[in-house]
Structure 1
């Protein structure tokens, strides 16, 4: 049985990729089992990035989820989708010279949510390092068919 989510929580979600990297997304929980997956993707066309707001359910998530980590919260009236949909799909100056990817979008999304009081983080770099480390610890297990892990105790964010 998958772990239960906290309604109105914001989660970082890292998904296993065959190249040893991760797909980065945010999950906004609406119930204990479902919400929205907000992310940048280029699955339709590798050279064209688009913002996606997909339904998310812990029991039916098809792509190999490695970890989810509670990083913030939102009020029921907050327009999280609207805030994140407005993020340009280009590398921000502070992340240059790295090419745009879902990871770069995630970093900017955390900054935007931080400015709106939804995520309280020490630094985006510290958060990224901590999430990557947690995913690395569980990635091989997921590749072998084991379940993803939920983390509620990150040192790089204050809930």
Structure 2
């Protein structure tokens, strides 16, 4: 009952503002204000305001909104995790097919570390530093050796 009274008062005030705006010869703005001011009365007449008032004071409705919020949060978390991984996780069948294809083609980086290739491979020794080179070039050769080790 209170919500209907408030909506009626808001509509009456809006129509008053529309009349003042029309008196100032701003008819387009006056019609727009009148249209906005009729919305609350229309909502009261259709029963939307009563439904909203019943929903606002219902603990079950608030619990439902909380569940919907939790579902939305879970969807967003899964999207963030999926984007960080670079897509969806491959199935077991897809992983087996990828492993078979890699075995047929051979190793992409022959000097890669043992865990990526499996048993039986040993890492290459680091290149020895020549005595005639200055220290600054030696730093870059270490970086080059690391990059070559990873196949880059």
Q: TM-score range by the shorter chain?
A: under 0.3
Kindly name which structure, 1 or 2, has the bigger radius of gyration based on alpha carbons: 2
Q: Which fold has the larger relative contact order, with Cα–Cα distance below 8 Å and residues 6 or more apart in sequence?
A: 1
TM-score by length of 2: 0.22
Higher fraction of strand: 1
TM-score by length of 1: 0.21
Higher fraction of helix: 2
